[in-house]
Amino acid sequence: MKEILFLEPVFKSMIWGGNKLATDFGYTIPSDHTGECWAISAHKNGDCTIKNGTYEGKHLSDLWENHKELFGNAPGEVFPLLIKIIDAKNDLSIQVHPDDAYAKEHENGSLGKTECWYILDCEEDGNIVIGHNAKDKEELKAMIGDRRWTDLIKLRPIQKGDFFQIEPGTVHAIKGGTVILETQQSSDVTYRLYDYDRLDNGKPRELHIEKSIDVIGCPHVDVLASGKLDKTGDCEVQELIRCGFYTVKKIDLHGEQEFIQDQLFLNVSVIDGTGEIDGISIKKGDHFILPSGYGTYRLEGTMNLIVSHL
């Protein structure tokens, strides 16, 4: 039987981070302003190691390069997805990501970034920035030039369990008090449009106004989540999104259920509860990959999971 690949996350301190990755998820974090847990990642800026079995201690990037069979010989030079948990104690900068074509040309062949957010936790009157109000590039440039940030950005209310797809070219920002599970293309290219004039070690963080204006889509168009729901026995599976880069689903389990892993590989994150996969204990905060050809697997327990595949 094929082995499950359990991953050791990589943590990132950020000026906007907090300590919920320790208090809510039980991780050992490097500081009380830890913003990101790179939970399933082979990106060079945060390459997870395997925690168990034959490949214990190896980096995920190493397996992608030397054991492509684990990923069904999926195409691509780099492991294409990146799963993060983000703890935003304070607001993240207002930002935008390029698409593959723009990133390839302007960012040394990097991938662009399509990302999506599942809201794990937020404040009662929490909100988030997605989109902008400029009707065309001219108006966008004028509003940015005049620093009319409040008029420009689209602020929208959020609740626990909401889901948003963020296409490249979408102005966005996670606001303080929000914890998110993010599924994204494996890319670390962010153009910062506005950072609330904050200082980091006495200096404002770099902005990327020209590149932002280049890539921001005008006018903004919302992408709707899929919302397809399958109910069987003790289990509910909701498809959150299916796009050109990934499919993301949420599994709510109360009891037991058998599934088939027939994708090239399947990323799994336990976002709440405890249980078992094929007799192995798993709990909130665990992240693992079911490799190619894993076949049937049985989940047991009371758990919510987010799974993703190509």
The CA distance from 162 to 238, in Å, is 12
Residues linked to residue 260 through DSSP beta bridges, in sequence order: 296
Considering only CA atoms, give the Rg of the chain. 19
Based on the number of CB atoms within 10 Å of its own CB, is 66 exposed (0-12), middle (13-18) or buried (19 or more)? exposed
Scanning 110-148, the segments in alpha helix (DSSP H) are 137-145
- 53: tokens are 């079995």
The CA distance from 136 to 280, in Å, is 53
From the candidates 192, 198, 205, 298, which is the catalytic residue? 192
- 185: tokens are 């293309």
Q: Look up 192 and say whether it is catalytic.
A: yes
CA 11: distance to chain centroid? 14
Based on the number of CB atoms within 10 Å of its own CB, is 60 exposed (0-12), middle (13-18) or buried (19 or more)? buried
Q: Kindly state the helix (H) or strand (E) to which residue 151 belongs, with its residue range.
A: helix 149-152
Active site residues: 192
